Amino acid sequence: MDGYALLHSDQQQTTLKLVGCSWAGRPYTGLVAKGECVRVFTGAFVPDDCDCVVMQENVTSDGESITINSWPTPFENIRDIGSDIQQHNIIIDKGKLIKPADIGLLASCGVADIAVYKKLTVGFFSTGDELISIGQQPLLGEIFDSNRYTLHALLEDAGVNALDLGVIPDNFSAVEEALLSASQLCDVIITTGGVSVGDADFITDVLEKIGRVELWKIAIKPGKPLAFGHIKGSTFFGLPGNPVSVMVTFQQVVLPALQKMMGQQQLSTTLTLPAITTATINKQPGRMEFQRGIVKNTQQGLSVTPISHQGSHLLSSMSMANCFILLEQQSGAIEKGQTVNIQPFS
């Protein structure tokens, strides 16, 4: 605060003698006796003899003395040393994701180096003879591989080193070779497709041969045929091939696992909020569902409208939506006007 540093006990006096000036970075180091004051500027050191600062707007100055029109309270306009962080305080707990405010806090304490967990290297590839990359011309029966591009973006947001391993054909030997090669390079391997029970789905069979299947199939929709296991020293996630299933299983299963593997002890939990549905939501009991919806803030509170088409192959439903509608495993249809839980995407 630009003003004058003084002793509050001098308030019986109206005029104080000006004995010096304390600039930011150039402190006044002399004594300040009773009946005296020091000119100070924002960010300047306050002399030890003073216990408050009066704003310059509340004084009249003639260059040699000041007349105070409105006295400050004790310690007003002074920031004490150690008021933010004190000696022996923990600045940042182990396992905390470093955010911009944390960088500033470390710098404010003069900390230049800290120990951090290594970023994970996550390799990912798609499986499918029908898949082609952007830039190629699709033939009859071929489709563009959207999953690799979606996963790349999701992994970048997760703060890992993402390694695109391309497309692997629906062939047992090719899948085996790709997974073994990836296990030499990656902490985590993510595949999309090939985890169902079709004649061209080889992921779980290969995983059983060269690693361990810890889990296969979970009671969620979309995303039921999810596989989890290990290949040598790598952790493996086999996601379904449908693009919405990829996003649901990544957000709900893979991302929390990546955060924990990178040392985060406070996992970033997704915000869950109640909202009134504007339409009937169809659902069969048996699996927890993550339907896509559009949430809006109204005068009556949050309302959510389910996207009309909920197929797991319809990536446009994720692009249009701004939240998941969470439907519990044993619930049935939800009538219009009922309250449901939602997870906003951001």
Q: What is the mean pLDDT for each group of 10 consecutive residues in the chain (346 residues)? A: 95 92 96 97 96 96 94 95 92 92 95 94 94 92 94 96 94 94 97 78 91 95 95 96 95 95 80 96 96 95 94 92 96 96 93
On whether the CB atoms of residues 324 and 298 are closer than 8 A, the answer is no
pTM of the complete model: 0.83
172-185 and 203-210 helices cross at what angle (nearest 10)? 60
Return the pLDDT at 258: 96
Quote the tokens at residue 248. 């649901």
Task: Write the single-letter amino acid at 328.
Answer: E
Return the pLDDT at 130: 92
The CA-based diameter of the chain, rounded to the nearest angstrom, is 95
Return the pLDDT at 208: 93
Return the pLDDT at 320: 95
Return the pLDDT at 199: 64
Query: Could you give the domains of the chain?
Result: 3-68 (2.170.190.11), 90-118 (no CATH), 121-261 (3.40.980.10), 273-344 (2.40.340.10)
C-alpha distance from residue 231 to each of 157, 212, 294 (Å): 25, 7, 39
